Amino acid sequence: MSQATQTEGAAKPARPNEFNLVWLDMEMTGLDPDNDRIIEVAVVVTDPELNIIAEGPVFAIHQSDETLDKMDNWNKGTHGKSGLIDRVKASTVTEAQAETELIAFLKQYVPNNKSPMCGNSICQDRRFMARGMPKLEAFFHYRNLDVSTLKELCRRWKPELASGFKKHQKHTALADIVESIEELRYYREHFIKL
């Protein structure tokens, strides 16, 4: 995979499992899908109990200097500090190439249209995906498993628990996914009565 960071994952499963969960995160040049662009995307597959089965490739998506120059100061600072801007400039991967490789990876672990899109504030990623990676967006079930919903409910119903999970705020796609999985584990243990 060109310009992708391949992460370690488990061996290919015997067959895809419809109950596996696909976690996704993107970094973008801003928050407006009509004007901003995807600059990084990663996926992780877990089983229903939130155990990581496989980490997919992490793609830095090439964008022009003109596009990167339009970023606001927060994005320039955050993505500059993480090294993402340099990775984006060095990358030759397009949104279409990343989309194709991510779908091929995911098909090994979950059937088409079975996994909800999992993550934090995942509707934002879905909006960008609908524009920039529509085939990948269509691979997911129409439902979302959004950890930020539990975060907001916890803040309102059990505020004493809300401060118990601390984010590292790395703002890289893979780190954000792993953090979202850990955050859902926290809410499952401390907030949701099973």
Question: What is the separation of C-alpha 89 from the centre of its chain, rounded to a whole number of angstroms?
Answer: 21
Contact 7, 175 (CB under 8 A): no
Active-site residue, from 109, 142, 186, 187: 142
The verdict on whether 109 is a catalytic residue reads no
pLDDT tens for 7-66 read: 444 556 668 999 999 999 999 999 999 999 999 999 999 999 999 999 999 999 999 999
Question: What is the separation of C-alpha 161 from the centre of its chain, rounded to a whole number of angstroms?
Answer: 25
> Cα separation of 58 and 7, whole Å?
8
Round the average pLDDT of the chain to a whole number and report it: 92
Strand partners, 58: 5, 42
Arithmetic mean of pLDDT, 149-162: 94
Q: Which residue is it, tokens 């990623």?
A: 125
Residue ranges and CATH numbers for the domains of the chain are 4-146 (3.30.420.10)
pLDDT value at 2 more than 50:
no
Provide, rounded to the nearest whole percent, the portion of the chain with pLDDT above 90: 86
pLDDT tens for 91-104 read: 999 999 999 999 99
| Cβ atoms within 10 Å of 129's Cβ, excluding its own | 25
pLDDT value at 169 more than 80:
no
Arithmetic mean of pLDDT, 106-132: 97
